[in-house]
């Protein structure tokens, strides 16, 4: 029987240094990228894939989605069957500061922004993934296909930058992939930990994405582990439904006064409002809470958007712009419309005709219809209970 050699202790692992001809290109005053060629079979020696995941404390690590076996297989078939395969796109790698570049002494005429030289990359033979100095930011499928191909070697181009911050790596990953078919959920989950300049649409979503992360993973949140994300795939509620609800409230609702134009957002106040409201929702509608959207329209996108509008309406009616409504106050007002809600059975008596409880869908028309209905019921019931005044 053949035995697999045991992994040697770290102290006995052999180390070597890879020296490759490279170009250093200066982009702006503080950015430098490096381009060099390497046998694609050896990319795994210098760079690993940082898979997106959360640890036991729900801290986010990594940024890469799982490897697409179908995509890898398609590239591998091309490499193994085409007599002259070509992969011109560079693999993008983020190196830590163990990697160095040494410029050549040259008097040749060249552009001021480029220098030739040697890039020095440390390699730990039979090392663990954490020992590698690089992370693949773009090109993991191509790298895997070359690794698994029948070719003895396949030189490729690598474009690299050096940084020790995961936030910088995530930002570059988002920028590289935001125009490709990258799952939006993955981008949304990465946004809270990204740094630096991002496209305006992504910057606009960074604040609500940060709130989603807090709602989904805080131990005190009534929505803990209920929002579906790449690192929480079993969540009941689509992350985009929560994001849209938050964006509406941030634009002109209960959360708007705390967005902190120019001063930074007041997360504490925003989270208090959200925890208070959704905690009250869980209390008032226990039979509809924490069920799949097929069994409860409260957990469906249309229900999330409808209740989000009601949160804004109650907050407006209950006090001043900077007065946070308590969970008990939210619960009092939700209870007066509880009988008007049909999350799991019956029908919604809309003005334009009744709809089965599960007949409302996550469309703009149905969202508006349910929002108008809930706010109208609230105004009527609370108006009557408070002597006709709000």
pLDDT at 77 over 70: yes
367 alpha-carbon distance from chain centroid? 25
User: Residue 305's CB: how many other CB atoms inside 10 A?
Assistant: 22
What pLDDT, in 10s, does the model give residues 36-64? 999 999 998 998 876 555 667 777 555 55
Structure letter (DSSP) for residue 91: E
pTM of the entire predicted model: 0.63
DSSP state of 112: T
User: Residue 261 corresponds to which tokens in the numbers above?
Assistant: 């134009």
pLDDT of 3 over the 60 cut: no
Give the pLDDT mean for 224-243. 94
Q: 195-219, pLDDT tens digit by residue?
A: 766 767 778 889 999 999 999 999 9
Q: Is the dihedral of CA 152, 156, 160, 165 positive or negative?
A: negative
In the predicted model, is pLDDT for residue 302 greater than 80? Answer: yes
Going by C-alpha positions, the residue among 201, 330, 217, 338 that lies closest to residue 277 is 330
In what helix (H) or strand (E) does residue 372 lie, and over which residues does it extend?
Answer: helix 364-385
Contact yes or no for 73/79 (Cβ under 8 A):
no
Confidence band (pLDDT; 50, 70, 90) for 140? confident
**Phi, psi dihedrals of residue 23, rounded to the nearest 5°:** -115, 135
Euclidean distance between CA atoms 115 and 105, whole angstroms: 9
pLDDT band at 127 (very low <50, low <70, confident <90, very high): low
Helices (H), the chain: 43-46, 69-81, 140-148, 166-177, 184-190, 200-217, 239-252, 267-284, 301-318, 327-335, 364-385
Share of residues in the chain with pLDDT > 90 (%): 58
What's the confidence (pLDDT) of residue 2?
35
pLDDT band (50, 70, 90) for residue 190: confident
Q: Between vectors from CA 270 to CA 269 and to CA 271, what angle results, nearest 5°?
A: 95
Domain positions in the chain: 10-182, 199-385
pLDDT for res 4: 37
Q: Please report the pLDDT score of residue 320 as a whole number.
A: 60
Provide the mean pLDDT of the chain. 86
pLDDT at residue 125, as a whole number: 74
Distance CA 325, CA 309 (A): 15
Predicted confidence (pLDDT) at residue 297 exceeds the cutoff of 70 = yes
- Per-residue confidence band for 389, with pLDDT thresholds at 50, 70 and 90: very low
pLDDT at 56: 72
Cross-strand pairs, 348: 355
């Amino acid at each position: 029987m053949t035995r697999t050699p045991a992994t040697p202790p770290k102290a006995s692992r052999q180390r070597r240094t890879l020296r490759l001809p490279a170009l250093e290109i200066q982009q702006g005053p503080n950015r430098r990228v490096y381009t060099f060629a390497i046998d694609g079979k050896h990319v795994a020696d210098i760079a690993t894939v940082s898979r997106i995941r959360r640890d036991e404390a729900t801290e986010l690590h990594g940024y890469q989605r799982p490897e697409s076996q179908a995509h890898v297989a398609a590239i591998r078939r091309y490499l193994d069957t085409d007599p002259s395969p070509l992969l011109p796109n560079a693999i993008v790698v983020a190196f830590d500061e163990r990697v160095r570049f040494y410029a050549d002494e040259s008097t040749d005429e060249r552009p001021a922004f480029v220098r030739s030289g040697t890039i020095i990359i440390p390699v730990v033979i039979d090392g663990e993934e954490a020992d590698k100095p690089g992370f693949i930011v773009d090109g993991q499928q191509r790298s895997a296909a070359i690794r698994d191909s029948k070719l003895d070697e396949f030189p490729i181009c690598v474009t690299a930058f050096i940084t020790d911050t995961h936030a910088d790596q995530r930002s570059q990953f988002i920028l590289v992939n935001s125009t490709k078919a990258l799952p939006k959920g993955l981008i949304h989950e990465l946004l809270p930990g990204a740094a630096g300049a991002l496209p305006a649409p992504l910057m606009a979503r960074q604040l609500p994405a940060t709130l989603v992360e807090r709602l989904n993973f805080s131990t005190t949140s009534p929505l803990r582990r209920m929002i579906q994300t790449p690192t929480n795939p079993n969540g009941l509620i689509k992350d985009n439904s929560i994001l849209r609800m938050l964006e509406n409230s941030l634009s002109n609702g209960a959360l708007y006064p705390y967005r902190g134009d120019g001063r930074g957002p007041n997360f504490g106040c925003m989270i208090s409002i959200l925890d208070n409201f959704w905690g009250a929702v869980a209390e008032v509608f226990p039979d509809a809470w924490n069920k799949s959207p097929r069994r409860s329209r409260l957990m469906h996108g249309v229900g999330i958007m409808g209740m989000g509008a009601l949160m804004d309406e109650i907050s407006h009616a209950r006090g001043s712009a900077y007065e946070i409504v308590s969970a008990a106050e939210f619960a009092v007002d939700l209870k007066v419309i509880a009988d008007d809600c049909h999350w799991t059975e019956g029908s919604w008596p809309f003005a334009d005709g009744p709809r089965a409880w599960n007949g409302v869908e996550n469309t703009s028309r149905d969202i508006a219809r349910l929002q108008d209905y809930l706010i109208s019921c609230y105004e009527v019931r609370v108006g009557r209970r408070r002597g006709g005044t709000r």
